Amino acid sequence: MRFLNIQGNSFRNLNLEEPLNLNKKQVILIGANGQGKTNLLEALYFLCYGNSFRTSNLKELLSYFSKSLNLKATFLSDKDEKRQISISISNKKRQIKIDDKIIHDRKQLIYNIPCIVFSHDDIAFITGTPESRRKYFNQTMSMYDPIFFDDLRYYNKILKQRNALLKKGDYSLLDVYDYNLAKYGFLIMTARKKAVDEMNLLFPNLYKEVSNIDNVKLEYKSSWRNCESEEDIIENLKQNRERDIKFSVSNTGIHRDKFTINTEFGELSAIGSTGQQRLASLVLRATQCKYYKLKTEKEPILLVDDVLLELDHEKRDKFLYLFNDYSQAFFTFLPKEKYFNKIDLDNSIVYNVEKGVFK
């Protein structure tokens, strides 16, 4: 599975009027900051998932003075079939096509080209809000499990409707919404417990390989931690109903779950150095790669965006050694920055990037 080429117009500052050849296992992008390296990774991610890892505002993806954009790529599927994906934005509306067939549900897109991006913002998985860590686990589990993806969709839809009723002061249907919230919430809670147990067979060992620090593990703290069934959750919602009515919001549920990374001395977010926290965020992404392969027997595409600069050379070499479970990888480098001791030119293509032009 890999991208073969990409072509388009008006995506940020990229000059992709002619197809850009990507048909190597490693694609290396070298250039100063602001030249378009990250923009290309963003374009590839956009084709994989229909959204950006940098912004939720589609308008920001358009180049200056443009009102529309088009992107398309040819890729090799996991069945070694040549396929095409294209996305256009016009009048703030997005149209997605797979093999020239319009798709209306993003779910039909996201399971075609599994990709994982490593970016500076990943530090939020360690130091950010509980929502940031939930986002990581939701993303990790949705990559391999369409049922989890659907359950999460249904749960969020029900939660939004329940909160709307609470704000409106209409409590007549709360029993119905509690039943459905419990139904999908219990499925998600159970899946999260299982995923964290399985990821704890990977993450601690990967972190130790790079840092030589032992006894680090993931922990899941459910908002409904004492609930063992849907019935228990419904009872919990009833017990918290007065509080929900008072604050006009649902105060318990999987949208309040917490994930932590713990050491023997406490949570890494509180006691870890900046270097340890940065390293942990990288290892979380590496864990995501290996866990995806464990669950699907497929290898993802990696988008690695200048995230190793803060590591010393020893840790960088150890971390890069973990990168062996991918079908294709894109790396961004600053000029004269040496990530690899040796580049395998037979399996790599190197581009110098300047003002959105690739040479």
Note the pLDDT tens digit of each residue in 226-256.
899 999 999 999 999 999 999 999 999 999 9
Note the pLDDT tens digit of each residue in 256-266.
999 999 988 88
Residue recorded with tokens 């917490």: 258
Q: How far apart are CA 326 and CA 117, in angstroms?
A: 12
Residues 22 and 50 in one domain: yes
Residues 279 and 330 in one domain: no
Residues 251 and 161 in one domain: yes
Residues 133 and 248 in one domain: yes
- Domains held by the chain: number: 2
Question: What's the confidence (pLDDT) of residue 279?
Answer: 87
Residues 133 and 250 in one domain: yes
Domain boundary among 261, 296, 331: 296
pLDDT band at 339 (very low <50, low <70, confident <90, very high): low
Domain boundary among 296, 319, 341: 296
Residues 193 and 338 in one domain: no
Q: What is the CA radius of gyration of the chain?
A: 22
Q: How far apart are CA 34 and CA 354, in angstroms?
A: 9
Residues 241 and 127 in one domain: yes
Residues 302 and 288 in one domain: no
User: Among positive and negative, which fits the CA dihedral 204, 210, 215, 216?
Assistant: negative
Average of per-residue pLDDT across 43-72:
90
Residues 155 and 109 in one domain: no
Domain membership of residue 106 as a residue range: 1-114+298-359
Q: How far apart are CA 124 and CA 128, in angstroms?
A: 4
Is residue 224 within 8 Å of residue 189, measured between CB atoms? yes
Question: What's the confidence (pLDDT) of residue 343?
Answer: 65
Report the CATH number that the domain containing residue 13 is assigned in CATH. Answer: 3.40.50.300
Is residue 288 within 8 Å of residue 140, measured between CB atoms? yes
86: β partners: 72, 97
Is residue 163 within 8 Å of residue 248, measured between CB atoms? yes
Residues 167 and 272 in one domain: yes
Burial code (b: 16+ CB inside 10 Å, e: under 16) for 92-123 equals eeeebeeeeeebeeeeebbebbbbbbbbeebb
pLDDT band at 213 (very low <50, low <70, confident <90, very high): confident
Note the pLDDT tens digit of each residue in 28-57.
999 998 999 999 999 999 999 989 999 888
How much is the pTM? 0.91
Neighbouring C-alpha atoms within 13 Å toward the C-beta of 276: 15
254: how many CB neighbours lie within 10 A of its CB? 25
Residues 80 and 147 in one domain: no
Q: Is residue 296 scored above 70 in pLDDT?
A: yes
Report the CATH number that the domain containing residue 131 is assigned in CATH. Answer: 1.20.1050.90
Q: How far apart are CA 67 and CA 65, in angstroms?
A: 7
Domain boundary among 261, 280, 296: 296
Residues 160 and 96 in one domain: no
